Structure 1
Amino acid sequence: MNVALFDYGVGNLHSLGKALEAGGARVHVTRNWTAALEADALVLPGVGAFSAAVEALPADPAPIREALASGLPCLGICLGMQILFDESAEGEGVGIGHIAGRVRRLDADVVPQMGWNEVETADDPIFQGIEGLTAYYANSFICEPDDPSTIIARTRYGREHFTAAVRRGATWGVQFHPEKSSTAGRRLIANFLGAAAGAAHARRSR
């Protein structure tokens, strides 16, 4: 699996790159969207702020939406999940828009949410073999999909019972950081790579 790890130009991608490599991927860090969309799978990391991240998108993100809609496997992590949506209260700019909805500030007494929290998961291949998922969070904003059927996990924090993971086709987004979530997180990344391999093969066979 040739995996493109997109670099928005901020943050440290080292731990995520190592986690993908441990799962068997050949990782290429890139800021070039043409190269990213030609990979077997795309990973959008959870570093930086929404407005800075969407500045790294093409002026017209339609080619990214089209690639995702045609089955390019993608995993968006934290901020990477949020830029899959239309817009965010965190800052100006337009997201990719592959998942309809918006991002808003977390309503809690302590923000950001930092640390470990339980995740309520649905039956999805990305959670295969993971029992009682507890994951590491570092976020001040949460996603609100227009279509509830895209939600595959939730987490409780303070007054919130918010979306912890989404899926549309071969695109997954997780609000937590699997690369920082110990054995369960490594298993989730391996599950993504396994599902992505099948999706990439099907996409190339069309």
Structure 2
Amino acid sequence: MSRNVIVVDYGIGNVFSVCNALRKIGCEPELTGDLTRVRLADRVILPGVGAFARAMDALERRGLTYALQDFVATGRPFLGICIGMQLLMDRSSEFGDTLGLGLIPGSVERISARGPFGQQRRVPHVGWAVIEPSGGSSDQRWRKTALEGANDYVYFVHSYHCQPADPSHRIAHVDYDGVEVTAAIRRDNITGLQFHPERSGRAGHRILEQFIAI
């Protein structure tokens, strides 16, 4: 794969795991936080784990918020993974109210610890699950996206999930003990995955392959 794929290095989380997964599918990513390199990339991937506020602070201290917004404005494909997906939203309620990148309208909210019938639900949500199209089995929003043909188990570990203001921006969810937890979002050239494709075996590798091929 000859495309210049940037994995954003901002001192948060699982960047090396993402780079290793990309190498396994034949892509040689560039791990960098250089603002010019990010702006000029063919594809940008923003991974991350941990707290929303800490991740936003790390981006801001490095001047990456504007570089990422500039990249998205080019129309080239952008992928956020885990916290990297949540940062796409307007704000998060995790440990107070923190502004995000504002690339997809909506907020990040904690998964309720109570099920629909009052039963206790374990939070964080950790484990393997099959994602479902949020518009139903006939939904065409997966067509020609990184999720096209996704029908296998992927790996989750999170306590918060995205609540897009426009329901059409949520393209996949997972049923977690009776609640639909957002698994993927998409707006124009931006895709966000709450699960970890780099930890999801062949299913995750296929999703990364399809993102690079967009």
Q: 1:106 aligns with which of 111, 126, 129?
A: 111
Which residue in the other structure is 1:137 paired with?
Answer: 156
Q: 2:56 aligns with which of 40, 54, 57?
A: 54
Give distance in 2, aligned partners of 1:189 and 1:74.
12
Question: Are 2:100 and 1:95 equivalent residues in the alignment?
Answer: yes
Shift of 1:110: 0.7
Which residue in the other structure is 1:198 paired with?
Answer: none
Give distance in 2, aligned partners of 1:48 and 1:31.
18
Which residue in the other structure is 1:83 paired with?
Answer: 87
Q: Deviations over 1:101-159 (max 9, x none)?
A: 000101132111111012103432212333x2321000000000001111111111124
Which residue in the other structure is 1:200 paired with?
Answer: none
Question: Are 2:25 and 1:5 equivalent residues in the alignment?
Answer: no
Go from structure 1 to structure 2 and tell me whether the alpha carbon gap of 1:102 and 1:163 turns closer, same or farther (over 3 Å shift).
Answer: same
Which residue in the other structure is 2:127 paired with?
Answer: 115
Q: Deviations over 1:40-78 (max 9, x none)?
A: 111011322111110122469455334313312111011
The RMSD of aligned alpha carbons is 1.9
Alignment of 1:31-42 (within 5 A): 31-42=33-44
Kindly indicate whether the alpha-carbon contact (under 8 Å) linking 2:12 and 2:48 is maintained by their aligned counterparts in 1: no
Which residue in the other structure is 1:127 paired with?
Answer: 147
Give distance in 2, aligned partners of 1:187 and 1:135.
11
Poorly superposed stretches of 4+, deviation over 6 Å: none
Q: Structure 1 unaligned runs (5+)? A: 196-206
Give the stretch that moved more between structures: 38-47 or 61-70: 61-70
Shift of 1:6: 1.1
Which residue in the other structure is 1:149 paired with?
Answer: 168
For the residue of structure 1 that corresponds to 2:18, the secondary structure is: helix
Q: Structure 2 unaligned runs (5+)? A: 114-120, 134-138
Equivalent AA in structure 1 for residue 31 of structure 2: V
Equivalent AA in structure 2 for residue 128 of structure 1: E
TM-score (norm 2): 0.83
TM-score (norm 1): 0.86
Shift of 1:25: 2.3
Equivalent AA in structure 2 for residue 69 of structure 1: A
